[in-house]
Structure 1
Amino acid sequence: MHWTRAARLWQGQSLTVEAHQGFAHAAGNGFGVPTGLGVSLMPLRHPYEAALQARSLAISTGHPVLAGFGPGRPDLQRAMRGEPYASPLTAAEEYLTVVRGLLQGRQLDFRGRYFHCEGALPPSPAPQVQVGLGVLRPGMARVAGRVADAAITWLTPAAYLRETVIPALCEGAEAAGRPQPRVVAMVPMALPLPGQDAAAVAVAGSGAHMQAPQYADMLRRAGIDVDGGDPLANARSLIEGGAFLAGEADELVERIGEFWNSGVDEVVVNMTGVANVGGPKAAMQQIRTIVTALSDTEETR
């Protein structure tokens, strides 16, 4: 980030090194930067702790935080709660309402269907903390429009964002009488790797998502069929449909521009597949190449 115009360092949910602690460790070693969490899974922590962790990260790094949350898969919800959320939309709206209220310094007496919170965070100066919601489909986009500072998407093609997600986000915001939240698109991508097919890289980074019902449904809505039994064929569909970007640096810069032109405010360069196939050094080199190329274009945001 110090050598490009990149705005924020992002980390998804990790069950190995927890993202808040990883970022705080990096800050303690002199690498304090604006951070994004996309997305933390709601069943793993109460919204009070979620607000406390996000603010603690902002204080530790000395920089703004965009903390994203999502309900996760039904099997995770069952494992953590004993049963899945009967309404993930309601659960997400309650969760974000509590987290945002606490971060705004309010004293809460919140009694919802899924979450209960009485209290407030002790006052403390801190950089800005915004709250995001993981969004795949129109229903969750409308919830984000009502209660989030940002909608955070993953594997969502630019055209699908423009035609489906952003209009629903606007609907939610208008119904709540508030401005439309920002849109953050986490976009998996890869430059060519020697000896590796792009589809294999896509499987390494997004194979589990293609098998998840909510992602398969979103991709079908976007015109991408991942219902076949061949993971490589499904991955090729991802690439053809623009959910996974593959190509040389100039091609990726052009495809990233499609997201900005679709109304996205922040594009996250995600190299999970490259890291899983070629290792962290290869992923970091590809990030450097792409972000530097983006910094050299007029489309950089």
Structure 2
Amino acid sequence: MRIGLVVDEMGPSLETVIDQSRAAAEAGFAGVWLAQRTGRDALTTLAVAGRQVPGIELGTAVVPTYPRHPLALAAQALTVQEAVGNRLTLGVGVSHQFIIEDQYGYSFDRPARHLREYLSALAPLLRGESVSYQGETLKAVGAVDVAAATPPSVLVGALGPAMLRVAGELADGTITTWATAASLADHVVPEITKAAGGRTPRVVASTIVCVTSDEDERRAWVAENFGMVGQVPIYRAMLDRSHAAGPEDTVVIGDEAGVERQLRRLFDAGATELVVVLLGSDEEQARTTALLADLAG
């Protein structure tokens, strides 16, 4: 199994992020993934950590598109590629209306159109090509020259049909969240594979995992702390596709045998790789890490 590990980019220090990334590499995980939230910049952090942690994929899950023009993001991503020896996977996404409009002040009108125009400019820029692109929402004219960097793999945080079509046509795949094996098999994989037109897209399933002796307590914790997920329209739609009451019904929780069965179902449903968010006490996380490292080996 190809399994990566989410490292908290908002941890107590940059050194902690580096130490956790190094531990993931030493444990045999395929990659280290950072979110882009209200703390450290994910790409900058990966550039720093990647210089000290060799031999592991470095991914963002995900960088919001609206605040970064394609020319700016291409320059940053290619700089990270050069810094880490071409190990970057660039995960991007449109984020959510309440973030893009209320925090950044951009219009969130027709986000799938925005994504299509954004990737139409970004993809050739990452290949070192010059662009002269004029869309309805975006203009990009110019090029980015980082000769030592190869184009990073580009994934899209895509869940709905329109976004999956764009991801299949213009990116290397998708990275999902709050998706179950059923929603992957019945919705995500068929939609993006059809759009990919003969290519095999990457389907990276991001999920919370916890090996525990108290499954009910851990699911209750997820329901209490992530209950607002069910109020976000795109996540609500994914939960409904899985007939899930809330996010607690999408996570992978149980004893070692139960967790392994659930993880295998995700791969059987078409996931090409997993990105794991650890949950639980130190002891539970140690049990989870040991199981995942064994499966990844």
Instruction: State if a TM-score over 0.5 links the two structures.
Output: yes
> How many positions carry a matched residue from both structures?
273
Deviation digits for residues 131-168 of structure 1 (CA, Å, limit 9, x no counterpart): 11111122211111111112111110011111111111
Matches of 1:13 and 1:205, distance apart in 2: 19
In structure 1, stretches of 5+ residues that fail to align are 226-233, 297-301
What SS does the aligned partner of 1:44 have?
coil
CA RMSD after TM alignment: 2.4
Deviation digits for residues 228-271 of structure 1 (CA, Å, limit 9, x no counterpart): xxxxxx35xx33xxx11111222212211111111111111112
Match of 1:24 among 42, 47, 64: 47
Report the more deviating stretch, 87-96 or 52-61.
Answer: 52-61
In structure 1, give the amino acid aligned to 2:167.
A
Q: TM-score by structure 2 length?
A: 0.83
Match of 2:185 among 162, 175, 178: 162
Q: Does 1:249 align with 2:256?
A: yes
Change (3 A) 1:26 1:196: farther
What residue is the counterpart of 1:85 in the other structure?
108
Alignment of 1:40-189 (within 5 A): 40-79=63-102, 82-174=105-197, 179-189=199-209
In structure 1, give the amino acid aligned to 2:138.
F
Deviation digits for residues 61-87 of structure 1 (CA, Å, limit 9, x no counterpart): 224211111111112221355343221
Matches of 1:38 and 1:68, distance apart in 2: 5
Match of 2:233 among 203, 213, 216: 213
Contact in 2 for aligned 1:96/1:131 (Cα 8 Å): no
Matches of 2:219 and 2:88, distance apart in 1: 33
Change (3 A) 1:81 1:14: closer
Higher relative contact order (CA 8 A, sep 6+): 2
In structure 2, give the amino acid aligned to 1:294.
L
Q: Does 1:265 align with 2:288?
A: no
Q: TM-score by structure 1 length?
A: 0.82
Report the more deviating stretch, 1-10 or 70-79.
Answer: 1-10
Matches of 2:27 and 2:97, distance apart in 1: 39
In structure 2, stretches of 5+ residues that fail to align are 1-23
Change (3 A) 1:60 1:123: closer
What residue is the counterpart of 2:212 in the other structure?
192
Matches of 1:173 and 1:25, distance apart in 2: 33
Contact in 2 for aligned 1:135/1:153 (Cα 8 Å): yes
What SS does the aligned partner of 1:258 have?
helix
In structure 1, give the amino acid aligned to 2:170.
V
What residue is the counterpart of 2:286 in the other structure?
285
Deviation at 1:200, TM superposition (A): 3.4
Matches of 2:107 and 2:287, distance apart in 1: 38
Report the more deviating stretch, 56-65 or 75-84.
Answer: 75-84
What SS does the aligned partner of 2:25 have?
coil
What SS does the aligned partner of 1:105 have?
coil
Matches of 1:191 and 1:99, distance apart in 2: 39
Contact in 2 for aligned 1:54/1:67 (Cα 8 Å): yes
Deviation digits for residues 56-114 of structure 1 (CA, Å, limit 9, x no counterpart): 22211224211111111112221355343221111111112222110111100011122
Contact in 1 for aligned 2:57/2:88 (Cα 8 Å): yes
Change (3 A) 1:80 1:165: same
In structure 1, give the amino acid aligned to 2:267.
W
Change (3 A) 1:215 1:24: same
Contact in 2 for aligned 1:34/1:61 (Cα 8 Å): no
What residue is the counterpart of 1:203 in the other structure?
223
What residue is the counterpart of 1:230 in the other structure?
none
